[in-house]
């Protein structure tokens, strides 16, 4: 009764205040506590301003109040009167058609069975148009700082400066409220490339982010500025580079690396001028180039990378002057499933062909001779009868079908000329992912461009039509495009964006135009309910209807369609009149609509970093010089070289004679010092190379050797010493080469040198000679050194090596001669642990029969240890192989039991679940405990083209192969052997040509297709295949033929090659690996939205562990191991403990006994990466949502045991060690042993 009475009172009060125009809030003041609790008043009403719109949200009543609907009221006066705006069932509403600059006041009530509640407290909001973004950004580099400047924005009172190390995304605010147009950021690191954006603000509105400007802070040490304005031209196996002259530069260094790898090698140094031609490249491969500037004070940091893809161009010409006369013939001849770019150059002409580019033609490019005159056209429409006599329908009406990934089109027109009024007539049907269109015209009427699937980028394109002429479900960016309408009442777009895709069509800095007199055109209508379309900074003509959007005659679409607009301009810009179910974006929201953010997907695709491809069928001549930059000691120099085709060659502008074999040769007179020669070649078609510069220095002055004071007491002309080896050091007057007793000695950058010479008893002659870079010889210097007494090195006695000289003999060499040797100081140990466990289990189970000593020729004591057991030729010990089916290496699923009958049943169950391709799926323990019923899906992943998709993730497939191998060995059942062999075939077929293994095969079309180190997926496959190669239990049977083992060894070799090539290099230093890498470019890749490209502190452990286990490692493998171990040591957090899912919410604690590694490290900075499901990188775990903080393991101790083993035993399986356990032995200096020293016995 009381509740009903209170509700009635509230209704009367509300009615009275609305009618009277008095403040609603004041009417409830006398009984506010009871009315608020009992009347169902909505709470926390908030208002968010937009351009001519306001977003209102509120919370339901605090009590259990049955709400039927909410009523929203608006006024321009806080005292009222308030006018009803809307009745809604949700707790939010967007009000529209508002006047910018006016303050609006809102209140909300709830309506239940008892009537309408009292109103909420009022919320005020002022809609405003956004400010224009700042322009004219410049950046000046400083020592540990960067100064950003920009042009003022009309109406702005302050500016925010933001930065990121990734262009186009993850910007973090550096400073707010800057009142001027300049800011110096002093929180940056030298050598890191930063991207800055600036936004403007006033008390009532703001702008979106500006275009970015990049800068690399650098110390003021006199080194030159970073080269800017790098441009490139791609050709046949060549790349031409040009750049702006850098302040302070004397010459330049050109560096090249794999695309997006961040790893570069120097390909040319001491380049004079601002041109370089790189030749002999692999066609179809994308390279990244960076350029540094040099002078006497040092080298600049690198320029921003530029991606270039040289290619052998195939020519299509209707007149027969090319390789093909039709485009389709050129497409059909293109390689299938190519990882390399293939370019088809299409000469001007109208090519009336119905073109099909199948999915097998990956990395294919169309390049037209000109955008207007290279026309690909056909005239089918939806009503055209197909070969089967039925109408083609919309999809099959297209003039051009594009199915493959990574398709590029430039400078062409794609047209359907069926004509207006003939129905749907598609010009281009684009289904492949990562499609790129640059300066392409799409001509037609209804349904011109069908963006069927994948991500697309359209740059400077022209797209015309009349109805729905851009349609489909793709995520696509239209950057600086012209969208041209040809019919009254038409629709620009008909998006069918899936509900779970955040962006659909995004138009950036584009223009909407129309034929003369066209009116009442709509931005779009939703082909599917969740259509997403955004127009950002668009110039709009008068053809666009004020309402803007069409719901396709279905009001339900208004609840789901995601239509938005920001900062439109021109006659058709009318935010006040736009449909209320569309959204005027805020400046903050609009700033997220960058090319990089919209199209990044799971692979971080950035179409602004697409490799530059050849835009012509003719490449410039290639000039190859025989001598490169050099220093000589003669006044004349012969300059010679060759060109690759007929051309005229000049040297410093003077023509020189060409031989019939395209070589040239001329002699020039040099002046003392530096001489610069510029060589250029021009072919008959006027294609000219950039100037190839040659630097020749004429130097006829001999260098001078300056020795440091020799060590020891000088007696007559000799120096007496007890040091052996003996240090010889000094300095050279200029760059050159030094020899000490005929052995070349390294000269450091400061021209100093140092080396040690082994002395013999008595008098030793040491001669130091040198030559400079020009070949001028220095006067040699000779010193005499007399070795006195028994020499001993400084420091304790140490074992320098332990060698197995035969099966029963180990010789241990010490660093000096021992006066006293005690055999009990040493213990002979055998490693009994498995490598998989990282526990060496060193055990003294070898028998020592005799120990003797001798002195070698270097005066060092050698202990000769005779043992009873026989060692193998590689110095490992022989150990009985225990075949334990319960402990099979890398077997993690407990399939095996003590019941033979149960084991057979389990094996048969696995046979029934094996897919046609030979694989199994993951996390199937419950299903694999019974037979397949013939109906259930064998995998959660399915491809319409390939059927069920298998995986190696979470130990899948390898677990099943291992268990079935055990069962074949125990039962001899050929079915198990056949199943195992099918499993091996799957693993070998799944391997990429580059050597890596994906997580899933066949391809899923997402991050599962990357080469996967995550969860040790690839490494586990290689470990199991290694067991097969070595015929280790359970593969010590006939399960694998010799032919199969050969194939497995080839696969292991390719896998190792991939591991070495994918190791991440930062500033020339090897680090570790990402959780997944691109199979072609080796680039680190992301996976789920919170798993970014990074260096992994977790997955890298398995990779290093595998590399260390390799027998006879190559120098490259040793370098990879050393780089990874150094990096893991470098980034560890000593004294820090990580608590996963910490209920206290702190996660990281001080703990002197702990060492922790982050899971993901940012490449280049080694900062930790934490990320929520929004995909935004943070460096503090507390800045991401709790669900991800607690639902993911962000750190751990993964490398701890590996580093301990690497720094002590190294690879230990079946190895023998000598350990120091006492210190009674000593040398003549009284030095003794260091207890605990451990030395592994190696083969001789």
The Cα–Cα gap between 1237 and 930 comes to 54
Q: Positive or negative CA dihedral for 1007, 1008, 1010, 1015?
A: positive
Prior bond of 449 cis (ω within 30°): no
Q: Where are the alpha helices (DSSP H) in 262-354?
A: 327-333
User: Do both 1058 and 1139 map to the same domain?
Assistant: no
Enumerate long-range contacts of 17-21, CB under 8 Å, 24 or more apart.
17/80, 17/119, 18/73, 18/80, 18/81, 18/82, 21/79, 21/80, 21/81
Distance linking the first and last C-alpha atoms of the chain:
100
Domain that holds residue 1045: 881-1062
Bridge partners (DSSP) listed for residue 514: 485
Say if residues 766 and 781 touch (Cβ distance below 8 Å): no
Say if residues 1042 and 247 touch (Cβ distance below 8 Å): no
Which residue of the set 95, 278, 288, 468 is catalytic?
468
Six token digits for residue 1077? 């890498």
What number of helices (H) and strands (E) belong to the chain? Answer: 15, 89
**Contacts of residue 715, Cβ cutoff 8 Å, sequence gap at least 6:** 786
Residue ending a domain, choose from 564, 583, 607? 607
Count the Cβ atoms, other than its own, within 10 Å of residue 173.
10
C-alpha 140, offset from chain centre: 28
Instruction: Provide the CATH number for the domain around residue 32.
Output: 2.60.40.10
Question: What's the burial of 880, exposed, middle or buried (CB within 10 Å: 0-12/13-18/19+)?
Answer: exposed
* Torsion angles phi and psi, residue 49, rounded to 5: -80, 145
User: Do both 856 and 940 map to the same domain?
Assistant: no
Residues of the chain with pLDDT under 70: 1-38, 789-791
Instruction: Provide the CATH number for the domain around residue 1134.
Output: 1.50.10.20
User: Do both 860 and 903 map to the same domain?
Assistant: no
User: Do both 498 and 564 map to the same domain?
Assistant: yes
| 458 found inside a domain | no
**Contacts of residue 1140, Cβ cutoff 8 Å, sequence gap at least 6:** 1147, 1190, 1193, 1194, 1195, 1196
User: Do both 59 and 111 map to the same domain?
Assistant: yes
| 371 found inside a domain | yes
Distances (CA, A) of 286 to 283, 336, 531: 8, 18, 35
pLDDT in tens, 1068-1101: 899 999 999 999 889 899 898 899 999 999 999 9
Instruction: Provide the CATH number for the domain around residue 370.
Output: 2.160.20.10
Look at residue 816 in the predicted model and tell me its pLDDT: 87
| 618 found inside a domain | no
The Cα–Cα gap between 717 and 723 comes to 18
| 641 found inside a domain | yes
User: Do both 1151 and 1103 map to the same domain?
Assistant: yes
| 792 found inside a domain | no
Pick from 854, 924, 929, 802: nearest CA to 1237: 802
Containing 1204, the helix (H) or strand (E) segment is helix 1200-1206
Say if residues 1001 and 990 touch (Cβ distance below 8 Å): yes
Look at residue 789 in the predicted model and tell me its pLDDT: 63
Look at residue 790 in the predicted model and tell me its pLDDT: 59
Instruction: Provide the CATH number for the domain around residue 687.
Output: 2.60.40
Residues listed for the chain: 1244
Sheet order of strands, 713-715 included: 713-715, 718-721, 781-787, 762-772, 736-740, 743-745
Count the Cβ atoms, other than its own, within 10 Å of residue 779.
10
Beta 455-459 vs 435-443: how paired, if at all?
A: parallel
User: Do both 118 and 71 map to the same domain?
Assistant: yes
pLDDT in tens, 1121-1171: 999 999 999 999 999 999 999 999 999 999 999 999 999 999 989 999 999
The Cα–Cα gap between 807 and 809 comes to 6
The Cα–Cα gap between 395 and 449 comes to 11
Bridge partners (DSSP) listed for residue 470: 449, 493
Residue linked to tokens 């490290």:
1161
User: Do both 759 and 710 map to the same domain?
Assistant: yes
Look at residue 946 in the predicted model and tell me its pLDDT: 82
Taking CA 317 as the corner, what is the angle to CA 315 and CA 323, rounded to the nearest 5 degrees?
45
Reported in sequence order, the residue ranges of 120-225 that DSSP labels E, i.e. its strands, are: 123-125, 138-142, 145-149, 158-164, 172-178, 182-185, 194-201, 213-215
Residue linked to tokens 């980034």:
1131
Six token digits for residue 822? 């005690």
Look at residue 45 in the predicted model and tell me its pLDDT: 97
User: Do both 433 and 361 map to the same domain?
Assistant: yes
Residue ending a domain, choose from 692, 720, 739? 692
User: Do both 371 and 489 map to the same domain?
Assistant: no
User: Do both 423 and 552 map to the same domain?
Assistant: no
Question: What region does 1229 belong to: left with phi over 0, alpha with psi -120 to 50, or beta?
Answer: alpha
Look at residue 1027 in the predicted model and tell me its pLDDT: 95
User: Do both 19 and 90 map to the same domain?
Assistant: yes
The Cα–Cα gap between 462 and 503 comes to 22
Question: What's the burial of 238, exposed, middle or buried (CB within 10 Å: 0-12/13-18/19+)?
Answer: buried
SS3 per-residue string spanning 519-577: CCEEEECCCCCCCEEEEECCEECCCECCCCECCCCCCCHHHHCEEEEECCECCCCCHHH
Residue ending a domain, choose from 99, 125, 151? 125
Six token digits for residue 781? 């210097």
Look at residue 791 in the predicted model and tell me its pLDDT: 61
| 615 found inside a domain | no
Active site residue 626: no
| 700 found inside a domain | no
Six token digits for residue 790? 């028994």
| 614 found inside a domain | no
Domain count of the chain? Answer: 10
């Amino acid at each position: 009764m009381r509740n009903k009475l209170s509700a009635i009172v509230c209704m009367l009060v509300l009615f009275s205040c609305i009618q009277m125009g008095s403040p609603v809030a004041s009417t409830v003041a006398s009984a506010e506590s009871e009315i608020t609790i009992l009347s169902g008043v909505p709470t926390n009403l908030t208002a968010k301003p937009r351009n001519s719109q306001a977003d209102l949200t509120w919370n339901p009543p605090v009590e259990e109040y049955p709400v039927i609907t909410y009523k929203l009221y608006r006024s321009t006066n806080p005292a009222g009167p308030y006018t009803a705006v809307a009745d809604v069932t949700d707790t939010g509403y967007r009000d529209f058609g508002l006047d910018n600059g006016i303050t609006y006041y809102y209140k909300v009530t709830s309506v239940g069975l008892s009537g309408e509640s009292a109103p909420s407290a009022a919320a005020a909001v002022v809609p405003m148009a956004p400010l224009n973004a700042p322009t004219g950004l410049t950046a000046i580099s400083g020592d540990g700082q960067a100064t950003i400047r920009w042009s003022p924005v009309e109406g702005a009172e302050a500016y925010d400066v933001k930065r990121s190390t990734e262009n186009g995304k993850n910007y973090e605010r550096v400073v707010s409220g800057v009142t001027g147009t300049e800011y110096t950021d002093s929180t940056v690191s030298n050598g890191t490339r930063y991207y800055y954006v600036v936004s403007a603000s006033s008390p009532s509105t703001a702008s979106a982010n500006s275009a970015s400007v990049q800068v690399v802070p650098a110390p003021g040490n006199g080194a030159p500025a970073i080269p800017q304005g790098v441009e490139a031209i791609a050709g046949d196996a060549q790349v031409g580079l040009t750049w702006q002259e850098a302040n302070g530069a004397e010459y330049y260094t050109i560096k090249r690396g794999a695309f997006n790898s961040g790893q570069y090698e120097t390909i040319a140094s001491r380049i004079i001028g601002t041109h370089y031609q790189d030749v002999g490249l692999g066609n179809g491969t994308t390279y990244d180039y960076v350029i540094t500037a040099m002078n006497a004070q040092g080298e600049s940091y690198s320029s921003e990378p530029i991606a270039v893809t040289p290619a052998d161009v195939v020519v299509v010409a209707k007149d027969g002057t090319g390789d093909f006369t039709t485009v389709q013939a050129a497409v059909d001849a293109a390689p299938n499933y190519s990882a390399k770019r293939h370019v088809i150059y299409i000469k001007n002409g109208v090519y009336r062909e119905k073109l099909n580019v199948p999915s097998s033609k990956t990395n294919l490019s169309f390049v037209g001779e000109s955008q207007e005159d290279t026309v690909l056209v056909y005239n089918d429409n939806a009503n055209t009868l197909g070969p089967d006599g039925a109408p083609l329908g919309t999809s099959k009406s297209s003039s051009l079908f594009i199915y493959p990934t990574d398709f590029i089109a430039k400078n062409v027109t794609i047209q359907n000329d069926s004509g207006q009024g003939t129905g749907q007539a598609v010009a281009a049907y684009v289904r492949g992912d990562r499609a790129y269109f640059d300066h392409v015209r799409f001509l037609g009427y209804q349904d011109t461009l069908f963006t069927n699937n994948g991500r697309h980028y359209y740059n400077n394109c022209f797209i015309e039509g009349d109805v729905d002429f851009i349609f489909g479900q793709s995520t696509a960016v239209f950057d600086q495009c012209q969208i041209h309408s040809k019919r009254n009442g038409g629709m620009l777009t008909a998006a069918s964006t899936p509900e779970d895709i955040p962006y659909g069509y995004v138009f950036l800095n584009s223009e909407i135009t129309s034929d003369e007199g066209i009116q009442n055109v709509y931005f779009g209508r939703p082909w599917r309910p969740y259509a997403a379309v955004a127009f950002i900074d668009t110039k709009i003509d008068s053809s666009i209807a004020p309402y803007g959007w069409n719901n396709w005659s279905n009001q339900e679409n208004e609840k789901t369609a995601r239509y938005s607009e920001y900062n439109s301009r021109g006659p058709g810009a009318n935010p006040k009149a736009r449909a209320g179910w569309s959204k005027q974006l805020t400046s903050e929201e609009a700033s997220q609509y960058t090319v990089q953010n919209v199209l990044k997907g799971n692979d971080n695709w950035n179409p602004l970093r697409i490799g530059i491809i050849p835009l012509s069928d003719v490449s410039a001549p290639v000039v190859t010089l025989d001598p490169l930059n050099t220093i000589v000691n003669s006044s004349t120099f012969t300059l010679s070289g060759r060109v690759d085709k007929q051309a005229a060659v000049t040297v410093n502008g003077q023509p020189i004679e060409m031989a019939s074999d395209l070589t040239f040769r001329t002699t020039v007179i040099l002046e003392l010092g530096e001489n610069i020669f510029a060589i250029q070649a021009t072919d008959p078609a006027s294609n000219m190379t950039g100037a190839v510069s040659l630097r020749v220095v004429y130097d006829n002055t001999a260098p001078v050797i300056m020795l440091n004071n020799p060590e020891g007491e000088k007696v007559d002309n000799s120096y007496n010493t007890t040091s052996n080896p003996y240090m010889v050091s000094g300095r050279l007057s200029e760059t050159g080469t030094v020899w000490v007793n005929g052995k070349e000695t390294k000269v450091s950058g400061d021209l100093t040198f140092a080396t040690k010479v082994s002395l013999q008893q008595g008098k030793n002659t040491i001669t130091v000679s040198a030559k400079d870079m020009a070949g001028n010889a220095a006067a040699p210097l000779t010193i005499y050194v007399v070795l006195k007494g028994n020499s001993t090195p400084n420091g304790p006695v140490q074992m320098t090596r332990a060698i197995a000289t035969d099966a029963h003999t180990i010789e241990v060499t010490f660093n000096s001669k021992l006066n006293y040797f005690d055999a009990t100081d040493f213990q002979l140990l055998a490693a009994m642990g498995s490598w998989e466990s990282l526990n060496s289990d060193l055990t003294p189970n070898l028998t020592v029969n005799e120990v003797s000593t001798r002195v070698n020729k270097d005066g060092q004591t050698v202990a000769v240890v005779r043992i009873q057991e026989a060692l193998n030729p590689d110095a490992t010990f022989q150990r009985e192989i225990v075949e334990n089916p319960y402990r099979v290496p890398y077997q993690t699923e407990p399939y095996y039991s003590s019941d033979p009958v149960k084991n057979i049943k389990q094996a048969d169950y696995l046979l029934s679940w094996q897919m046609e391709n030979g694989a199994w799926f993951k996390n199937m323990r419950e299903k694999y405990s019974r037979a397949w019923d013939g109906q259930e899906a064998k995998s959660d992943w399915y491809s319409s083209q390939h059927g069920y998709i298998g995986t190696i993730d979470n130990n899948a497939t390898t677990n099943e192969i291992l268990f079935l191998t055990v069962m074949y060995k125990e039962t001899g059942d050929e079915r198990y052997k056949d199943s195992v062999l099918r499993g091996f075939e799957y693993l070998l077929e799944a391997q990429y040509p580059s050597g890596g293994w994906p997580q899933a095969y066949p391809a899923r079309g997402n991050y599962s297709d990357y080469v996967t180190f995550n969860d040790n997926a690839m490494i586990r496959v290689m470990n199991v295949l290694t067991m097969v190669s070595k015929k280790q239990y359970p593969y010590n049977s006939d399960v694998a033929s010799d032919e199969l083992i050969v194939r497995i060894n080839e696969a292991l070799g390719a896998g190792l090659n991939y591991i070495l090539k994918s190791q991440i290099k930062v500033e020339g230093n090897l680090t570790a690996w990402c959780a997944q890498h691109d199979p072609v470019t080796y680039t680190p890749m992301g996976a789920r939205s919170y798993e970014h490209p990074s260096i992994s502190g977790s997955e890298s452990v398995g990779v290093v562990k595998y590399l260390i286990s390799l027998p006879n490692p190559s120098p490259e493998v040793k370098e990879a191991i050393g780089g990874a171990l150094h990096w893991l040591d470098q980034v560890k957090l000593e004294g820090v403990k990580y608590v996963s899912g910490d209920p206290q919410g702190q996660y990281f604690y001080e703990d002197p006994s702990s060492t922790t590694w982050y899971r993901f490290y940012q490449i280049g900075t080694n900062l930790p990466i934490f990320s929520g499901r929004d995909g935004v990188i943070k460096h503090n775990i507390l800045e991401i949502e709790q669900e991800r903080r607690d639902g993911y393991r962000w750190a751990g101790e993964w490398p701890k045991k590996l580093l301990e083993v690497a720094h002590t035993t190294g690879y230990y399986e079946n190895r023998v060690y000598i350990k120091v356990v006492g210190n009674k032995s000593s040398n003549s200096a009284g030095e003794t042993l260091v207890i605990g020293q451990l030395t592994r016995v190696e083969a001789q």
